[in-house]
Amino acid sequence: MSKLDKTEVLSAFEAAYETANGKKPEITTKPGWYSIDGGKNLRLADVAELTKKLNSGKTAKTKKTKAAAPAKTQKKAPFTVVTENKEGYTAEESWIVELARKDHDCRLPRGVV
């Protein structure tokens, strides 16, 4: 295993990141670990590997572990769709229909599904 020079690896990564993303990365250093733009902690060998990927052009941007705010979507019914048959609903189906009509999330009673 070859010894990696910390300053060389980080400066090469900064240059590759800047050419790929158009801005300088924010690198947080902890003993033995490096966090890039507040993302997942990486070892120096992982940073060197990421530099190779950035230089080869395989990745357009580095992955961030922070979840982006989810887009507003329509509220989905947490229950299955139930249609009334000739005999009416079963006990389970009537609970599903009753709780689906409410404007907030509800759980089915114990023993039902």
Half-sphere exposure of 61 (CA within 13 A, CB side): 8
Q: Do the domain assignments include residue 15?
A: yes
- Please check whether residue 100 lies inside any domain of the structure: yes
Mean pLDDT across the stretch 49-61?
75
10 and 41 together in one domain: yes
Reported as a single tens digit per residue, the pLDDT across 57-92 is: 754 444 444 445 555 555 555 555 666 677 787 878
Listed residue (84, 87, 85, 46) closest to 63, CA to CA: 46
Contacts 24+ apart (CB under 8 A), 95-103: none
- Please indicate, yes or no, whether residues 41 and 79 belong to a single structural domain of this protein: no
Q: How many domains does the chain have?
A: 2
Q: Please enumerate, as own/partner, the contacts of 9-18 that have beta carbons within 8 Å and a separation of 24 or more.
A: 9/44, 9/47, 9/48, 9/51, 10/34, 10/47, 12/48, 12/51, 13/47, 13/48, 13/50, 13/51, 13/54, 16/51, 16/54, 16/55, 17/54, 17/62
> What does the pLDDT look like over 87-107, one tens digit per residue?
787 878 888 888 888 888 888
14 and 52 part of one domain: yes
**Alpha carbon distance 109, 32 (integer Å):** 51
Domain that holds residue 10: 6-56
More confident: 86 or 3: 3
